[in-house]
């Protein structure tokens, strides 16, 4: 009855329970060829033995035989519908296959049979979260932690979801609980400062970011966030590494989040302002979308463009832009260096939601002036504040600027026909984010500012 398992086979008969225990042990060790014949021999004698059906189904799934796995598991469920572990494992297989509704059904059946099954509560939370039912997922995770609160990973999972629902106080509690269980938990260490900064508890957030830097010295995002909390001097701009990392992660859901959640309309505000100063679109201009991201400005700029180029730090964002088939050229580069390397190349330069990652703007203004041809237009948006500071790094990690500051910088760089218009750029946590649309023109004659 026993295949070559690397062990001497038993010299006397074994019970069904002993045979199953041997096979399950081999299966957990990854010795599937040893375990499978045991299950099949049991089923040859007892076709409806639920444990053999159950574990043979899991074994087939381990081998990548999805249809066979589901067939064996369905037979096991038909025989033993009240077997909580079976129903939970069936749910795990269905979840892995992306069949979320069926997985939810199995987890709920497992919990009806055994309400204290922690793994089923956690996996139910995973399925509900994947289905976009965040608040139900939070309740499932909370049930799991009420039953067993000894897992740092479980606290961190709940805290992460609470943050996404803007429940920052509760998130901080669970991040701290995770760190109490595992002081080296990197995910909780990274996330605690963000929750505290959202609560305005900046001193505590700074301490959390210092703890992050103790685990990951020199991490660029931790350094930026520490500065944003006032725990270190603010850099002149967000580092290339921070911007690239942020937007590479964000690229897949960037458009949906900005449009659906943040009600973002900076591209349209820029297009409206440009329509007042440019001739009717005639596909006659060389246009640069500076910090183009996924290409939200592309459809609005294309009618003006003979050549439409885009530059961005994030390769993943540029992949999304390329999929639009709207741009003639897309390049991965730091903006100011790229502008300085392309003197006199453009008639129109547009930067939507790009300068919120810059503090001082003098280098950008000089680079933009160099990249524009005489008579070319510059248009951009930025976020504003009312304090008597030219620029400020905010706790969120973005910069805002005094309303008159960009006009002073642009005048100093030789631009004329300066104009700005207050706008609402998007909404964040239900509140409007105030900003400006700014336009400026490079003089048509070198050395002379254009008349206003």
Q: Is the confidence at residue 449, as pLDDT, over 60? A: no
What does the pLDDT look like over 26-69, one tens digit per residue?
999 999 999 999 999 999 999 999 999 999 999 999 999 999 99
More reliable by pLDDT, 244 or 5: 244
What does the pLDDT look like over 77-124, one tens digit per residue?
999 999 999 999 999 999 999 999 999 999 999 999 999 999 999 999
What's the whole-number mean pLDDT along residues 385-400?
Answer: 94
What's the whole-number mean pLDDT along residues 198-214?
Answer: 96
pLDDT grade, residue 263 (50/70/90)?
confident
CB-based contacts of 198: which residues, under 8 Å, 6+ apart? 163, 166, 168, 395
pLDDT grade, residue 12 (50/70/90)?
low
pLDDT value for 250: 78
The average confidence (pLDDT) of the chain is 93
**Smallest Cα–Cα separation from 39: which of 58, 12, 20?**
20
Q: Is the confidence at residue 210, as pLDDT, over 80? A: yes
What's the whole-number mean pLDDT along residues 363-375?
Answer: 98
Q: Is the confidence at residue 238, as pLDDT, over 90? A: yes
Q: Is the confidence at residue 418, as pLDDT, over 90? A: yes
pLDDT value for 259: 74
What's the whole-number mean pLDDT along residues 4-27?
Answer: 76
Q: Is the confidence at residue 182, as pLDDT, over 90? A: yes
Range in 35-39, 156-160, 261-265, 292-296 the model is least confident about: 261-265
What's the whole-number mean pLDDT along residues 266-278?
Answer: 95
Q: Is the confidence at residue 447, as pLDDT, over 60? A: no
pLDDT grade, residue 430 (50/70/90)?
confident
Range in 1-5, 163-167, 222-226 the model is least confident about: 1-5
What's the whole-number mean pLDDT along residues 174-188?
Answer: 96
Distance of CA 237 to the CA centre of its chain: 21
Tell me whether strands 305-312 and 285-290 are parallel, antiparallel or unpaired. Answer: parallel
In percent, the amount of the chain with pLDDT more than 90 equals 89
In percent, the amount of the chain with pLDDT more than 70 equals 96
Report whether 26 contacts 34 (CB < 8 A).
yes
Q: Is the confidence at residue 9, as pLDDT, over 70? A: no
CB neighbours (10 Å) of residue 256?
9
Q: Is the confidence at residue 285, as pLDDT, over 80? A: yes
pLDDT value for 162: 97
Phi, psi (degrees; rounded to nearest 5) at 154: -70, -40
pLDDT value for 49: 96
pLDDT grade, residue 450 (50/70/90)?
very low
CB-based contacts of 33: which residues, under 8 Å, 6+ apart? 3
What's the whole-number mean pLDDT along residues 135-146?
Answer: 97
3-class secondary structure per residue, the chain: CCCCCCCCCCCCCCCHHHHHHHHHHHHHCCCHHHHHHHHHHHHHHCCCCHHHHHHHHHHHHHCCCHHHHHHHHHHHHHHCCCCHHHHHHHHHHHHHCCCHHHHHHHHHHHHHHCCCCHHHHHHHHHHHHHCCCHHHHHHHHHHHHHHCCCCHHHHHHHHHHHHHCCCHHHHHHHHHHHHHHCCCCHHHHHHHHHHHHHCCCHHHHHHHHHHHHHHCCCCHHHHHHHHHCCCCCCCCECCHHHHHHHHHHHHHHHHHHHHHHCCCCHHHHHHHHHHCCCCCCCCCEEEEEECCCCCCCHHHHHHHEEEEEEEECCHHHHHHHHHCCCCCEEEECCHHHHHHCCCCCEEEEEECCCHHHECCCHHHHHHHHHHEEEEEEEEEEEEECCCCCCEEECCCCCEEECCCHHHHHHHHCCCEEEEEEEEEEEEECCEEEEEEEEEEECCCCCCCCCCC
Lookup: tokens for 450: 């254009």
pLDDT value for 141: 97
More reliable by pLDDT, 362 or 252: 362
pLDDT value for 446: 57
Find the farthest-apart pair of alpha carbons in the chain and give their distance in angstroms, rounded.
103
Phi, psi (degrees; rounded to nearest 5) at 233: -60, 145
pLDDT value for 253: 79
Q: Is the confidence at residue 4, as pLDDT, over 70? A: no
What's the whole-number mean pLDDT along residues 132-141?
Answer: 96
What's the whole-number mean pLDDT along residues 11-19?
Answer: 81
Phi, psi (degrees; rounded to nearest 5) at 359: -90, -90
Q: How many CA atoms lie within 13 A of 152 on its CB side?
A: 13
């Amino acid at each position: 009855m026993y295949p070559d398992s690397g062990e001497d086979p038993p010299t006397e008969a074994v019970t069904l329970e002993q045979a199953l225990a041997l096979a399950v042990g081999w299966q957990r060790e990854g010795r599937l060829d040893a375990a499978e014949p045991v299950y099949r021999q049991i089923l040859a004698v007892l076709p409806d033995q639920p444990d053999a059906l159950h574990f043979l189904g899991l074994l087939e799934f381990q081998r990548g035989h999805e249809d066979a796995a589901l067939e064996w598991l369905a037979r096991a469920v038909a025989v033993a519908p009240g077997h909580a572990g079976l129903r939970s494992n069936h749910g795990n297989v269905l979840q892995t296959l992306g069949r979320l509704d069926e997985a939810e059904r199995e987890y709920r059946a497992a919990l009806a049979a055994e309400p204290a099954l922690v793994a089923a509560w956690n996996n139910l939370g995973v399925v509900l979260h994947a289905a976009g039912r965040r608040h139900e997922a939070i309740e499932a995770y909370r049930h799991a932690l009420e039953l067993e609160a000894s897992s740092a990973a479980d606290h961190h999972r709940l805290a992460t979801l609470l943050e996404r629902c803007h429940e920052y106080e509760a998130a901080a509690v669970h991040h701290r609980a995770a760190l109490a269980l595992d002081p080296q938990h990197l995910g909780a260490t990274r996330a605690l400062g963000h929750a505290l900064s959202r609560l305005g508890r900046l001193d505590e957030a700074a301490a959390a970011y210092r703890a992050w830097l103790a685990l990951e010295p020199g991490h660029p995002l931790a350094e930026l966030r520490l500065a944003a909390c006032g725990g270190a001097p603010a850099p002149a701009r967000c580092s290339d590494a921070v911007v690239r990392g942020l937007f590479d992660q964000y690229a897949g859901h960037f458009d949906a989040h900005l449009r659906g959640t943040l009600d973002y309309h900076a591209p349209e505000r820029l297009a409206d302002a440009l329509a007042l100063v440019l001739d009717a679109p005639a596909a006659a201009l060389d246009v640069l979308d500076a910090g183009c991201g996924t290409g939200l400005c592309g459809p609005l700029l294309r009618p003006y463009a003979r050549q439409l180029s885009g530059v961005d730090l994030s390769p993943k964002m540029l992949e999304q832009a390329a999929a639009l088939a709207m741009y003639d050229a897309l390049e991965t580069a730091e903006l100011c260096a790229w502008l300085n390397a392309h003197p006199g190349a453009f008639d129109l330069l547009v930067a939507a939601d790009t300068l919120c990652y810059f503090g001082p703007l003098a280098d950008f203004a000089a680079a933009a002036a160099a990249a524009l041809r005489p008579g070319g237009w510059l248009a951009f948006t930025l976020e504003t504040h009312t304090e008597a500071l030219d620029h400020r790094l905010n706790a969120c990690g973005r910069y805002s600027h005094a309303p008159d500051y960009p006009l002073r910088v642009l005048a100093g760089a030789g631009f004329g026909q300066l104009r700005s218009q207050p706008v609402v750029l998007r909404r964040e946590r239900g509140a409007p984010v105030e900003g400006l649309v700014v336009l400026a023109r490079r003089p048509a004659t070198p050395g002379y500012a254009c008349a206003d």
